[in-house]
């Protein structure tokens, strides 16, 4: 059984997808950009600010599903420019101070809304195992 996750505390989907889906105790999030969830506008301040907002958006989705950052098992980071890797790592590390999840990071040609970074996650959701 699939459960669709939707929260007003993260940007609404800008296409035919859900913010996240929970299946068999696992949450699969859509990629999160540095969009302000309340006005849908990209935050100012470059890749550092966009990474912070993307992580806050991801955190809001996890919490809506009954999960949390410490239950994330895998993330994928999509970067417009791999030269931003160190900056993104600095922000990202603050959200996973101990036992960070597995992660992949890839450079891409372009991201939606001309974002500089996009982050998606897979996390455990206690009490939703089937």
pLDDT band at 101; cut points 50, 70, 90: very high
pLDDT in the model for residue 8: 97
Q: Which residue has the tokens 């505390």?
A: 9
- Flag whether pLDDT at 1 surpasses 90: no
Overall pTM > 0.85: yes
For 48-81, what is each residue's pLDDT tens digit? Answer: 999 999 999 999 999 999 999 999 999 999 999 9
pLDDT in the model for residue 68: 98
For 77-100, what is each residue's pLDDT tens digit? Answer: 999 999 999 999 999 999 999 999
- Flag whether pLDDT at 129 surpasses 70: no
Domains of the chain: 2-124 (3.30.1330.40)
pLDDT in the model for residue 2: 94
For 4-44, what is each residue's pLDDT tens digit? Answer: 999 999 999 988 999 999 999 999 999 999 999 999 999 99
pLDDT in the model for residue 69: 98
> In Å, how far are 19, 79, 96, 124 from 6, measured between CA atoms?
6, 25, 23, 17
């Amino acid at each position: 059984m699939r459960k669709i996750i939707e929260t007003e505390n993260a940007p609404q989907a800008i296409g035919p997808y859900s913010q996240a889906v929970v299946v068999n105790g696992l949450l699969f999030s859509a990629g999160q950009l540095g969009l302000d969830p309340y006005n849908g506008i990209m935050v100012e301040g470059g890749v550092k600010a966009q990474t912070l907002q993307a992580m806050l958006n991801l955190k809001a989705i996890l919490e809506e599903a009954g999960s949390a950052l410490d239950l994330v098992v895998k993330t994928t980071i999509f970067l417009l420019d791999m030269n931003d890797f160190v900056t993104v790592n600095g922000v990202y590390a603050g959200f996973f101070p101990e036992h960070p999840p597995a992660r992949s990071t890839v450079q891409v040609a372009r991201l939606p809304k001309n974002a500089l970074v996009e982050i998606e996650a897979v996390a455990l959701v206690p009490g939703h195992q089937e």
